[in-house]
Amino acid sequence: MQRLFTCILVLGFVLPTLCLSNDGENETVNVMDYGAHGDGKSDDSNAFLSAWQHLCGGEGPATMLIPSGKIFLVTRLELNGPCKAPSVGIK
């Protein structure tokens, strides 16, 4: 069940980013750098929110990286904008 939720979560973020343009230098924000564990047991919600706040507050285009091969446990999240960054993506 957790794997299904993770797949749905990731697809929900990845598919919309296919339409985003990438102008200039793109900053990559890895959720692991913000304390995510990706072990399927620990709540990674705060790490995702912190990574989003950094990503959204930047001046240039940026991408939030959610590494493959991990299982992230998150509660319902609201990734609010508008962002200062001209474009944001999730990969």
CA dihedral 17, 33, 69, 27 (to 10 degrees): 30
For the segment 55-77, the average pLDDT, to the nearest whole number, is 94
Q: What is the pLDDT of residue 25?
A: 81
pTM over 0.85: no
The answer to whether residue 1 scores a pLDDT higher than 70 is no
Is the Cβ–Cβ distance between 65 and 26 less than 8 Å?
A: no
Using alpha carbons only, what angle is made at residue 46 by residues 42 and 51, rounded to the nearest 5 degrees? 120
Q: Which residues are paired to 30 by β-bridges? A: 65
Each domain of the chain, given as residue ranges in start order, spans 2-90
Segment 2-13, tens digit of pLDDT: 765 565 655 566
